[in-house]
Structure 1
């Protein structure tokens, strides 16, 4: 049974219904702050509270009803990767624990203008360099479904906080799967948009071409409401110019009348893995999709394992991207990732930092830079050809081939970052959009047959800039599972 706050969990709609019924924003925020006080000593998902949260709530309570935004009164936690004015933002690093940004990231400004209350910052591993919560700042975070297990990363704290109802929604950051993997492990909806759909202004970099923030919620509806607020062009992030290529519509409109009837879904069985619990849950979900009228077509990406491995570019790109971000902040400009690694100022389970630290200062100096770029383009063409050949609306597969792992296995470094069997890197390294939707639970019979049931998610992969179709299918999947 999931460890959850004593108050009844809210959705965005139920927050606003409660306010319409006379409840104050302050009272709602107090409930969530109380939940953090009661639960976070067990879960360890929060790095810093917003010291102005109650004042922010009171200010909202004074607003005329005609000025209430679409996220009015909604308590949200923000991954420690994203800058928040007046709240410590450490990027998971002990060396940055005293950094307090003077200005908000663009998406934080948008959330506040929409009436959301930023209540806290949430745990992440150093510089988002892991599938796990392992952080030099905060140690490890626990999964609310099983406190002996990982919530996943790198948006670890956002996932754990939302799953345990310490917040109504969370914002994470996704480079290789850091929104979708923890959402999968914690039973949430997690959305990765095409990089550039949402501004990365004020968000630390890992692989600039792959990085994107996004929502982590308990429903597709709530994710759509948040996306409608935070997506769009921003002059502070040139990548958001892609919004001119295919302008955004309304995500809330896209998910109306959720159904997968007639949708052509490519089933990527190459990505299923061998875990009996995971494959059983996904198989049952596929049966439901067929009953709901979806057209399921088995598909295969040629040389998938090769492309997943060869287009994994952190070792050649992340050093320059992380250091470039640090250099852009005068308070952090004296830091370099290779110096932090050499001094041992990072969590020792972060094997990817060891590889990043010895990478080239300039990614273009890597002898295989051009070859990897060409391979990524080939990977995109091969996969897009499958969409074209079969007229697919989306490709689907398990978000991860395994349920949430034991924290001790992570500390013992049972897997390296490059060989953990997460399927999220497919969408990330294609530079496409993808989302994880919960489709069931399983006992991890292969590791802990007497343990609790753990969430399993299905990943929905769509072509770049096709987020509205992706959200519609995600809503249809969610409806088919009810």
Structure 2
């Protein structure tokens, strides 16, 4: 990792004490991007106005400095930025410059963040890897022979390599949590609608959500306090009215300030542990530490889980319709249709989801299988919610992925077909996050460096504060075992 800040708190402390300036910090990160990203390939576009914007922030009086003052942040290139090229991972959009910021970009700017640039993703966020017709592949920040996971690949590598202090990714089936797990980061999938998707390209509108990718839970909470809330431009955000409480400026930071593990009840979904010895060893140690800290562990099982995962996958049903609808909403992109890109070969051939998605109907609700999908999804939600209710659970845990980050060549050769465990939370429309629990060696490549492993923490909808608090507790156990 490059020699940069490890936390928002550390950066803002130095800014407050006059030890540095936003402009100096921004220049440090931009210089690192210029020097290191030629090899990593995590950025599609760098913000040419970043230094000018940083200088303006330095001129603000203390009382006008927002909660993310001076934070150098990267944005997945799925999110519109006025004046900064936005490609959605597709070569078809290599020259597109949006006229307006997405709502979350406006909120970040108003909070004092500096947008460093846009990060790589696979075409239209349609996959679990970095493979993109626009940028090729992105390298893992620890082992350059491996893929950082997707679709928020560049965000994972940029933060993991120290080229940004934090990043915003987008998660439909696991595109925040998988690269966070592979790159050793905290990645949060919010209940869909908690954060506005205005200005963010769609893959599956009912499952899409942006969210933070950071080095620690506290940083994720700080960013969530800025991004979460109702937005008239995205009526999905009306779900925020269902929380039953008034939002505060620090509601998520308050949730992680005092990690409290004793008496928590956590379900252990052992059926999703896989067979990797190193990953399972870290899981066993983490569970033992949680138990020592007073957590009550409950073994749980989701009946017919493999069938539920298969039958509630919505991509073939509606991804084509949602991508096309998004493009049609932009005058400069109205000529783009996913089926035409497929016919012309304008997508990375390593992506299986594009050929599958184009088989879908133009109007998803006219698909004869759509009603059955909705019925099964509701059954899936009831089955899992019943586990929470029956056992009085605060969360359910399992590995974010059963494997370590794959070799890039394995992906290009079509040899890595792992379906990460992240799809469980996504297809339930629940909230979930990935938190690092250590590093493991790859038995097939013993000379390679040890790679990060993530623990997924699943919560019922709108329970973000609860799972963030638990994640903060898991994080604390990494440096101070409860033994």
TM > 0.5 fold call: yes
Q: Does 1:134 align with 2:135?
A: no
CA distance in 1 between partners of 2:68 and 2:287 (Å): 34
Q: Does 1:434 align with 2:409?
A: no
CA distance in 2 between partners of 1:450 and 1:69 (Å): 46
For the residue of structure 1 that corresponds to 2:365, the secondary structure is helix
**Matched-pair contact (CA < 8 Å) for 2:185–2:215:** yes
Select 2:84's aligned residue among 74, 82, 87: 87
Select 2:9's aligned residue among 10, 13, 38: 13
CA distance in 2 between partners of 1:242 and 1:359 (Å): 28
Q: Does 1:31 align with 2:31?
A: no
For the residue of structure 1 that corresponds to 2:257, the secondary structure is coil
1:9 to partner: Cα distance: 2.9
CA distance in 1 between partners of 2:255 and 2:219 (Å): 13
1:365 to partner: Cα distance: 2.2
CA distance in 1 between partners of 2:129 and 2:44 (Å): 16
User: Corresponding residue for 1:47?
Assistant: 44
CA distance in 1 between partners of 2:431 and 2:63 (Å): 35
**Matched-pair contact (CA < 8 Å) for 1:265–1:396:** yes
**Matched-pair contact (CA < 8 Å) for 1:180–1:190:** yes
For the residue of structure 2 that corresponds to 1:112, the secondary structure is helix
1:8 to partner: Cα distance: 3.4
1:21 to partner: Cα distance: 2.4
For the residue of structure 1 that corresponds to 2:452, the secondary structure is strand
User: Corresponding residue for 1:199?
Assistant: 196
CA distance in 1 between partners of 2:68 and 2:424 (Å): 32
**Matched-pair contact (CA < 8 Å) for 1:259–1:477:** no
1:10 to partner: Cα distance: 3.3
Residue by residue over 1:333-354, the C-alpha shift from the partner in whole angstroms, topping out at 9 and shown as x without a partner, is: 0000000011000000011000
User: Corresponding residue for 1:302?
Assistant: 303
**Matched-pair contact (CA < 8 Å) for 2:5–2:11:** no
Which segment drifts farther, 187-196 or 275-284?
275-284
User: Corresponding residue for 1:272?
Assistant: 273
User: Corresponding residue for 1:118?
Assistant: 115
**Matched-pair contact (CA < 8 Å) for 1:82–1:202:** yes
User: Corresponding residue for 2:396?
Assistant: 395
CA distance in 1 between partners of 2:431 and 2:157 (Å): 23
- Please show how residues 120-269 of structure 1 align to structure 2 within 5 Å: 120-246=117-243, 247=245, 248-249=247-248, 250-269=251-270
CA distance in 1 between partners of 2:419 and 2:128 (Å): 10
TM value normalised by structure 1: 0.97
CA distance in 1 between partners of 2:329 and 2:295 (Å): 48
CA distance in 1 between partners of 2:4 and 2:210 (Å): 28
CA distance in 1 between partners of 2:472 and 2:132 (Å): 34
**Structure 1, unaligned runs of 5 or more:** none
CA distance in 2 between partners of 1:454 and 1:10 (Å): 19
**Matched-pair contact (CA < 8 Å) for 2:130–2:147:** yes
User: Corresponding residue for 1:67?
Assistant: 64
Residue by residue over 1:276-334, the C-alpha shift from the partner in whole angstroms, topping out at 9 and shown as x without a partner, is: 11111111111111111111110001111100011011011101000000000000000
CA distance in 2 between partners of 1:236 and 1:473 (Å): 32
CA distance in 2 between partners of 1:62 and 1:204 (Å): 34
Residue by residue over 1:31-80, the C-alpha shift from the partner in whole angstroms, topping out at 9 and shown as x without a partner, is: 10011011101110000011110000000000001100000000000000
- Please show how residues 337-356 of structure 1 align to structure 2 within 5 Å: 337-356=338-357
For the residue of structure 2 that corresponds to 1:440, the secondary structure is strand
CA distance in 1 between partners of 2:266 and 2:337 (Å): 44
Residue by residue over 1:6-35, the C-alpha shift from the partner in whole angstroms, topping out at 9 and shown as x without a partner, is: x23331111111112221100000010011
CA distance in 1 between partners of 2:416 and 2:344 (Å): 24
Q: Does 1:292 align with 2:270?
A: no
CA distance in 1 between partners of 2:81 and 2:275 (Å): 42
State the 4+ residue runs in structure 1 displaced beyond 4 angstroms.
none
Residue by residue over 1:199-239, the C-alpha shift from the partner in whole angstroms, topping out at 9 and shown as x without a partner, is: 00000000000000000000000000000000000000000
Which segment drifts farther, 468-477 or 231-240?
468-477
1:380 to partner: Cα distance: 0.2
For the residue of structure 2 that corresponds to 1:41, the secondary structure is helix
Q: In angstroms, what is the RMSD of aligned CA positions?
A: 0.9
**Matched-pair contact (CA < 8 Å) for 1:288–1:481:** no
**Structure 2, unaligned runs of 5 or more:** none
**Matched-pair contact (CA < 8 Å) for 1:402–1:421:** no
